[in-house]
Amino acid sequence: MKNYKRAHRRWKKHVKFIKRLKTWIKPGMTRYFGRDEFGYPIEKQREDIIQEALKGTCYRFLRTTGNPCNCSSCTYLKYQRPTKSKIDKQIWDDIQDDMAS
């Protein structure tokens, strides 16, 4: 009996890449902001762009990561909390105020 684990991992990697392409390239998008050899924008349909990405000519960064960068347009708003030293200082001040009262 053959071990199909490696083939299954490759297939799952391919499926994940296709899902990332479909979420990254929106359904209504008709313009691909790549450049041809003369430097002019290329206008293509979504399916053509996905086929090019599967060949490896564009969107190669989506093969290994779902979130390509850390900029504010690519990530969600992050939860920001105060540092532990500020929390400890606030607790200490509250304790001192309670003891003084």
Q: What is the mean pLDDT of residues 84-90?
A: 93
Torsion from C-alpha of 82, 88, 92, 93, nearest 10 degrees: -10
CB atoms within 10 A of CB 83: 8
Higher pLDDT pick, 23 / 8: 8
Q: Check pLDDT > 60 for residue 14.
A: yes
Q: Is the pLDDT of residue 38 over 60?
A: no
Residue 78 scores a pLDDT above 80 = no
Q: What is the pTM of this model?
A: 0.55
| Distance between CA atoms of residues 61 and 36, nearest Å | 19
Which of 3-7, 54-58, 70-74 bottoms out in mean pLDDT, i.e. has the lowest?
70-74
The rounded distance, in Å, linking the Cα atoms of 78 and 71 is 12
Kindly state the average pLDDT of the residues 73-88. Answer: 76
Q: How far apart are CA 20 and CA 26, in angstroms?
A: 11
Q: Which residue did the predictor score with more confidence, 25 or 76? A: 25
**3 state DSSP class of 16:** helix
Which residue type, as a one-letter code, is found at position 42? I
Does the structure show a pLDDT above 90 at 25?
no
CA nearest 67: which of 9, 20, 15, 14? 20
Q: Would the pLDDT of 91 be above 90?
A: yes
